[in-house]
Amino acid sequence: QVQLVESGGGLVQAGGSLRLSCAASGRASRAYPMGWFRQAPGKEREFVAAIRWSGGGSLYYAESVKGRFTISRDNAKNTVYLQMNSLKPEDTAVYFCAAYVGIEISSPVSVGFWGQGTQVTVSS
């Protein structure tokens, strides 16, 4: 079983930055990536970014956040980060850390374990 604990959410002004952290504990498997999804009220949970643990740590991003968000990892700390720059009001959502059990990184069906979520609110 894997436990994921997010932190770093909060209120930020448009154009500002925020860094989210996700610490993984338990029997986390590094055979699969970790990543971030987000969900705004009344909307489906959508893919944001993902990163592989092994090798060069391949990165994956949703088109809506490319060039603004950066996902990274610290293998020693078993922690994944999401650096969010140039934030926009449409980025407002609950952000969920995700540990995958499948290979389709953009689909929630590939996620085996979720964090409880951290609220990100971007004001105009």
Q: Would you give per-residue pLDDT tens digits along the chain (124 residues)?
A: 789 999 999 999 999 999 999 999 876 667 789 999 999 999 999 999 999 877 778 999 999 999 999 999 998 888 999 999 999 999 999 999 999 998 899 999 999 999 999 999 999 9
69-74 vs 93-100, strand pairing mode: unpaired
Q: How many CB atoms lie within 10 A of CB 112?
A: 14
Q: Extract the runs of DSSP E, i.e. beta strands, from 52-123.
A: 59-61, 69-74, 79-84, 93-100, 111-114, 118-123
CA-based nearest residue to 12, from 97, 95, 109: 95
Closest C-alpha among 112, 75, 76 to residue 97: 112
**What is the pLDDT at residue 28?**
63
CA distances, 14 to each of 5, 17, 92 (Å): 26, 8, 10
Give the integer Cα–Cα distance in Å for 60 and 3: 22
What pLDDT score was predicted for residue 29?
64
